[in-house]
Amino acid sequence: MDAWGPGVRKVSAQGLHGSFSLLPRHVDTVSVLVPGLLWFEQDASQETFVAVDGGVLVKCGSTVRVSTRRAVTGPLGRLRELLEESFLRRSQLEEQADAAVTKLQADFVRRFVELERE
């Protein structure tokens, strides 16, 4: 995310020591983010909300960058629903990956046993 493009006035997030906000003239910083909300104001009437699964926020000059494993953007009123959908999809993919790894491990053990018999 690059902030302080046209109209961005403030970036807020939740770090290890609580919520914080950055303004365009703040000193450069690096912050560890906890799972929660990150939001930025683009003008007096528009805010963008992003749910993040922890991560790192870096402000350098007029640029703010965020690195996170998972993020979901949406209207604040629907963010919980969007998160649940995203996590459900991820859970299903993780189950499929676990099943594939278990099958690979079982095949490896079976072949190893076959090699010992020969």
Domain boundaries, the chain: 1-74, 75-118
Q: What are phi and psi of 11, to 5 degrees?
A: -120, 130
Q: CATH homologous superfamily for 1-74?
A: F0F1 ATP synthase delta/epsilon subunit, N-terminal (2.60.15.10)
Query: What confidence score (pLDDT) does residue 2 get?
Result: 47
Query: What confidence score (pLDDT) does residue 53 get?
Result: 81
Exposed / middle / buried, residue 101 (Cβ in 10 Å: 0-12, 13-18, 19+): exposed
Q: Which residues of the chain have a pLDDT value below 70?
A: 1-7, 87-92
| pTM greater than 0.85 (yes/no) | no
Query: What confidence score (pLDDT) does residue 56 get?
Result: 94
Query: What confidence score (pLDDT) does residue 67 get?
Result: 93
